[in-house]
Structure 1
């Protein structure tokens, strides 16, 4: 559906160097047969941007079956002349390369990818399904046909049939041996292709032509099975990447509509989307009362009604009417872009068990090759055993040594878990954070904006200076003037109340924020402070202290307003708990996890909220105090801290796991290990449960991978396992661990919303 039925502007070609530092992934289609129409900029094979005098190139890669493939590409590309940095993200199939600006560098990179057996994604919509099938499977199909002919010929002419099997093996061996050679040249000498090449070549010399050909056929089939499984694991990420349309309907100041590339939109631009269309960027709604389906981003199945002035995330779908919005995100910095960036960064933060397996696999294959050499030499030389028999067993051992199942056992589970978490509105920055989540024994919560809705309202104003005609209005006027530039929920509530009362705010200067205490500024040549009651400490009169305690016992948070150091009034505000907060705390308790609220609020207000939620609390805490409380709690076990404000950042960093609310301050989101993008604490229990399930799956996968190797190692040495059975067993183990990992993509919890 076109959202802008007017003359379209032409997008610039993608190979033009852009001035932005942002690199846009060129293709988000799930297969090479995509029929989606895209802008010219999107159909190019790569995107380019300038970076510090050089260039940054980005491609979407096809053919990566496991994280080991990503490592091969990185090692190869890093070794090219002119490449300063290379990074491959397996989850998004993205290759990002920083290069010197020299001629031919793109061709060198593409040539290297081709030599390794990988290619950039082809988005030619004119290709048919048959074209795509042949491109992906022609080598398998041709090898299978070659072997079928060999079988038929061998039935009549045994010698000729054996020759056909010999040729079939060479036909299947050529691409495998080529990849093995290229991998060895680029720093990966012990690749699976090396093992397959050695085993198939050895089988030919032993005259086992049928088994040699069968080994290669099963290996190729296994590779495509891995690719299919990897594609399923990446499906959630692909759907996320496809949420934002490539074009947008922009409206200029004269009301003219033009279809433009979404990547050219900047903050302040006005765009329009039709019902059934998705928002390409983050926007501020200008149209009254529009419902948006945000399920793809938040997991919330019910459309959410938004009002003018509210922010709407990129990827949200307009449900009921034409909507106009003002762009508020820079190119490459929308909600979807940030999520994808976090997913890419997550691959660099591997779980401890994943790092161990990576290290183990690096010496495992060379060790198994050394064992194969011993199997060849020791029995014949030491015990006079027949050479051919033990060479055959050694070749079988090489195939059993293929570490695919072990290497993919952990990343497949982690990728599936991260995809499910992001689908349900939780971002986890890597396997390390995911692993730690399951071992948490205590969760510390910030109060305002985390356990509460973050939308406090002014409930009462108590003036102490009656020298003006309307003292309550004057207290509010001064406080709102100082708080007008703040993003703190309490400050917003004070300003909102002043605007409701049509109070004109005076100019304010020399604003100074004091973390955990309040804010001060110059208003009409006087120093006005809006702060916590601890700011005055013991200087309150007995009457003021009684008023303060009475308001706090009602569950209010108090803002003290002073002018030139003299108390002029109290502003009482109340922020009620989130509706889902009681269930969230109860769910954690049922899992054996303690909950505690850490707040800078007064003890009486904190006690009111904590008693409603059934949890412990610590009150009157400054940012440093929260960190100290976290350190104390860590002595009893692993601690997760969840918050949303700038003042929560130190505690988030101190905790074993920091969890930020998605609507929180940028510094909190950057500091945290996880983020709840939908702002529902109810999902926290599901996230911890997912972490525990992931670790169970990883343990199961390692047992399957290592156990199968051990079993077939014994059967090989006993002469019970042949070459093709060894390959079939390895492929089967890989398929099993991958299928087991894919179970994590399914939602099981009743609390988790399904999209």
Structure 2
């Protein structure tokens, strides 16, 4: 029986562009026992799926043979799945839709744990500063400086002693070219014969043979400068997302036996209690156990307005306590807090290629050897067939090799996608890979869950109607029966009583009545709180009151009636209100030409009321398989469908959709399931995510145009004799710098 494949991650230093990643990918795939390889330049990572017989030292040695640094990723964080997790096997199965009002408080809180297999090998991320160090201390920067110095020395020596000018420039050329040639040889030896280094080496050596050693040495220096600039850009992209880690403070105030002691934040364990003072950053994910405050969550979610937090509410590492002193119970270790998971997910996403990126990879494999053939034909055909000058046409052929360097082309897509993923993550929009980011811009229909997605998932009291007693008594008696209950409707009544400063007397012998409501003694009276149908069996409900109840129901509200003895003293209407930004978000989607539809298990009356308010179509009283069928029907109409839910009871539909998006506030469900997630659960985040996708794809199209357009222009000017080796390498370096700089603009992307 075959053993389950293992997955191992490595940190790789020295990668600057997609060509570097391609060489590593090819070399590592040649090792026996390797099943799959993913390399991310922007994250500086190498992920390998392999059998038990492959040793880590073998992989590290293979990477180092190519001239890059490699080490196992530090242990910490969660194990990675040994196969890509799908939406279908990772979504919780739990429906929050309320169908009617059952006050027996018997709910199904079962959940479905993800059953993706975990790898036995280390899967972790070092979320500190990139290991490459300052750009001027990198090996490529030093090589560039050395080559530049050698070129200056050669120029000075040649000026003073003209007889040694040629050997001086050949030595200067060797200083810069030998390391490049060694890399070309190693790349060829390990499976990549047609690398940028190969083209550079052939062009430089050929230039020496036709007496252009000064140009050859200068071209090598320009090539090294270009590589160094690529490294600077790659480092910036890498730091953009890893910089999130710096938001988490290094120390925390740990409370033990009533005393607060400063300890390293990374040593905090789940269950520990910490003190967070006003102005401090929260050092760990946790739950407030004492105190209330305004929390600035902008670093984690991008939400600019601070949120009020009280006892029982979650707080996230890296957010800022803007109010009072809080005591917080830690709920996640440092290696698994919200920010650490965001960084890990974005790095993993950068290893997942989009369809455009895969096409460019395939194209570049044919393109580079094609350039060699074209260069050879240009050098040989005119002299042989038309009597042209050998020196002139060999020179032009060598220039074409430099023009044809594929760096700008192969970096055009991954640079933009990495920047887009990072920009989204810093604003609470997580997308699991280039393929997801690319597909989002093509979405033409979105199916929304209702509860917890379009609505807040938290019912609130909207109306309190007096019967035989005043409103104050109605709310007081209802709250008395509900005291201590965690049912969402009970919490809504208790919150309303607290907000209105209504006294809540004690209740005695309170008990739930299955399918009806709750009954108990309050102040010497028997009080019942439950559905209108159950209340009608205990007291008389007048036609006017019945009409009012029906009107509330038609408006999507749930009604609880309070009966004292045999008298109906009033009733309370509650509703799970739509999110504050739901109407704006849906209107923006409509303006983008995206069709929206609500899919809910709730009753038709409630669904119709909410959908009417939001201005969208709705399908109600659906089972999970019904939601999946509707998604399939939309796809059959030729629509590209996204399914939005809170990871609850939507697994079949999420799996069927082209893109599944989880709504949530930094929970495991929001961060680790579906194809994408929005951290702060705003409906406006959905059109923002689509807008980001379109911005990234437009950036990629611009990059490809720049890369190929410049090459086409210089190809023509070289053939006609206007430009030579220097402009050729400047065209390649210039295109690479322009493409990278254009992609980096996406790091500053902001929602409309």
Distance 1:381 1:57, change over 3 A: same
Structure-1 residue corresponding to 2:391: 388
Aligned twin of 1:647: 649
In structure 1, C-alpha distance between the alignment counterparts of 2:548 and 2:666, rounded to whole Å: 32
Q: Does 1:662 align with 2:694?
A: no
Where in structure 2 are the equivalents of 1:410-559 lying within 5 Å? 410-457=413-460, 549-557=550-558
Call closer, same or farther: CA 1:656–1:102 in 2, change over 3 Å.
closer
The 5 Å alignment of 1:15-30 reads none
Residues 502 and 606 of structure 1: CA distance in aligned 2, closer, same or farther (over 3 Å): farther
3-state DSSP class of the match of 2:290? coil
| Distance (whole Å) between structure 1 residues aligned to residue 156 and residue 573 of structure 2 | 91
Query: What residue number does 2:122 align with?
Result: none
What residue number does 2:525 align with? Answer: none
Aligned ranges for residues 291-370 of structure 1 at < 5 Å? 291-330=294-333, 332-370=335-373
Change (3 A) 1:119 1:279: same
Normalising by structure 2, report the TM-score.
0.76
- Work out the CA distance in 1 between the residues paired with 2:435 and 2:159: 57
CA drift of 1:458 comes to 6.0
Contact 1:627 1:654 in 2 (8 A): yes
Residue 116 (structure 1) aligns with: 67
Distance 1:166 1:479 in 2: 89
Residues 574/280 of structure 1: CA separation in 2 closer, same or farther (3 Å cut): same
* Secondary structure of 2:329's aligned partner: strand
Q: 1:430 to 1:495 in 2, by over 3 A?
A: farther
Structure 2 distance, partners of 1:244, 1:494, is 37
2:128 and 2:242 in contact (8 A); partners too:
no
**Change in 2 beyond 3 A, CA 1:102/1:602:** closer
Change beyond 3 A, Cα 1:506–1:338: farther
Do residues 62 (structure 1) and 8 (structure 2) align? no
- Alpha-carbon distance between aligned partners in 2 of 1:239 and 1:311, rounded to the nearest angstrom: 23
The aligned counterpart of 1:201 is 205
Q: Could you tell me which residue of structure 1 aligns to residue 82 of structure 2?
A: none
**Shift in Å, 1:726:** 0.7
Structure 1 contact 409–702 (Cα < 8 Å) conserved: yes
Aligned residues: 654
What does residue 194 of structure 2 align with? 190
Q: Structure 1 residue 62: deviation in Å?
A: 3.3
Matched, 1:284 2:287: yes
- In structure 1, the residue corresponding to 2:335 is in which secondary structure? coil
Conservation of the 8 A alpha-carbon contact between 1:644 and 1:665 = no
Alignment of 1:617 with 2:584, yes or no, is: no
String of CA shifts for 1:581-621, please: whole Å, max 9, x gaps. Answer: 12112222222223222222222222222222222222222
SS in 2 for 1:286: strand
Q: What's the offset of the Cα at 1:549? A: 4.8
Q: Alpha carbons of 1:103 and 1:385: their partners in 2 closer, same or farther (altered >3 Å)?
A: closer
Secondary structure in 2 aligned to 1:281? coil
Worse overlay, 491-500 or 686-695: 491-500
Counterpart of 1:727 (choices 726, 729, 735) is: 729
1:585 maps to 2:586:
yes
Pair 1:559–1:158, CA change in 2 (3 A): farther
CA contact (8 A) 1:282 1:327 kept: yes
CA distance 1:504–1:454, change in 2 (3 Å): farther
CA distance in 2, matches of 1:734, 1:71: 17
Structure 2 residue matching 1:577: 3-state secondary structure: coil
How far the C-alpha of 1:653 sits from its partner, in A, is 2.1
1:171 CA displacement: 0.5
Residue 745 of structure 1 is matched in structure 2 by 747
Provide the residue aligned with 1:466 in structure 2. Answer: none
Task: Assess, with a 3 A threshold, how the Cα gap between structure 1 residues 406 and 503 changes in structure 2: closer, same or farther.
Answer: farther
* Aligned CA distance change for structure 1 residues 639 and 545 (closer, same or farther; 3 Å): farther
Instruction: Sort the Cα spacing of 1:731 and 1:317 in 2 relative to 1 into closer, same or farther, 3 A.
Output: same
- 1:53–1:631 distance in 2 versus 1, CA, 3 Å: closer
Are the counterparts in 1 of residues 423 and 746 from structure 2 also a CA contact under 8 Å?
yes
**1:373 corresponds to 2:376:** yes
For 2:650, what is the secondary structure of its paired residue? helix
Partner of 1:715: 717
Query: Is the Cα contact below 8 Å between 2:13 and 2:68 reproduced in 1?
Result: no
Asked if 1:175 is matched to 2:179, the reply is yes
Deviation at 1:261, TM superposition (A): 5.5
Residue 155 of structure 2: aligned partner: 151
Paired with 1:274 and 1:165, the residues of 2 have a C-alpha distance of: 65
Match of 1:646, SS state, is: coil
What residue is the counterpart of 1:37 in the other structure? none
Change (3 A) 1:130 1:159: farther
Per-residue deviation, 1:506: 9.3
Question: Contact 2:276–2:282 at 8 Å: present in 1 too?
Answer: yes
Choose from 243, 249, 257 the match for 2:247: 243
CA–CA distance in 1 between the matches of 2:337 and 2:395? Answer: 58
Whole-Å Cα distance in 1 between the matches of residues 510 and 23 of structure 2? 63
Q: Which moved more, 1:131-140 or 1:197-206?
A: 131-140
For 1:557 and 1:251, the matched residues in 2 are separated by: 44
Is contact 1:630–1:655 with CA below 8 Å preserved after alignment? yes
Distance 2:644 2:475 in 1: 36
Q: Distance in 2 between matches of 1:245 and 1:99?
A: 37
Offset of 1:703 from its aligned partner? 1.4
Query: Cα gap change, 1:501/1:435 in structure 2, threshold over 3 Å: closer, same or farther?
Result: farther
Q: Distance in 1 between matches of 2:351 and 2:138?
A: 35
Change (3 A) 1:403 1:131: closer
Tell me the residue number matched to 2:43: 92
- Superposed CA RMSD in Å reads 4.4
Deviations 1:379-433 (A, max 9, x none): 3333333333222222111111111111111111111211211122111112222
2:603 is aligned to: 602
Unmatched runs of 5 consecutive residues or more in structure 2: 74-125, 466-473, 499-503, 518-529, 534-542, 562-570
- Counterpart Cα distance in 2 of 1:440 and 1:103: 42
1:138 to 142, 152, 172: 142
Verify the 8 A CA contact 1:584 1:681 in the aligned structure 2. Answer: yes
1:281 Cα deviation (Å)?
2.6
Question: Distance in 1 between the 2:658 and 2:54 partners?
Answer: 48
Q: CA deviation at 1:706?
A: 1.4
CA-to-partner distance for each residue in 1:676-703, whole Å, 9 max, x for gaps?
1011111222221222222212111111
Deviation at 1:98, TM superposition (A): 8.0
Q: Distance in 1 between matches of 2:313 and 2:172?
A: 65
Counterparts in 2 of 1:196 and 1:384: CA distance versus 1, 3 Å: same
1:629 maps to which residue? 630
Decide whether aligned partners of structure 1 residues 695 and 153 sit closer, same or farther in structure 2, where only a CA change above 3 A counts: same
Following the alignment from structure 2 to structure 1, what is the Cα–Cα distance between the partners of residues 455 and 626?
A: 21
The structure, 1 or 2, with the larger RCO (C-alpha pairs under 8 Å, 6+ apart) is 2
For residues 365 and 333 of structure 2, the distance between their equivalents in structure 1, rounded to whole angstroms, comes to 42
Q: Is the 8 A contact 1:350 1:431 kept in 2?
A: yes
Report the CA distance between 1:89 and its aligned residue: 3.1
Could you tell me how far 1:704 is from its partner in structure 2?
1.4
Check 1:545–1:660 CA distance in 2 against 1; reply closer, same or farther (3 A cut). Answer: farther
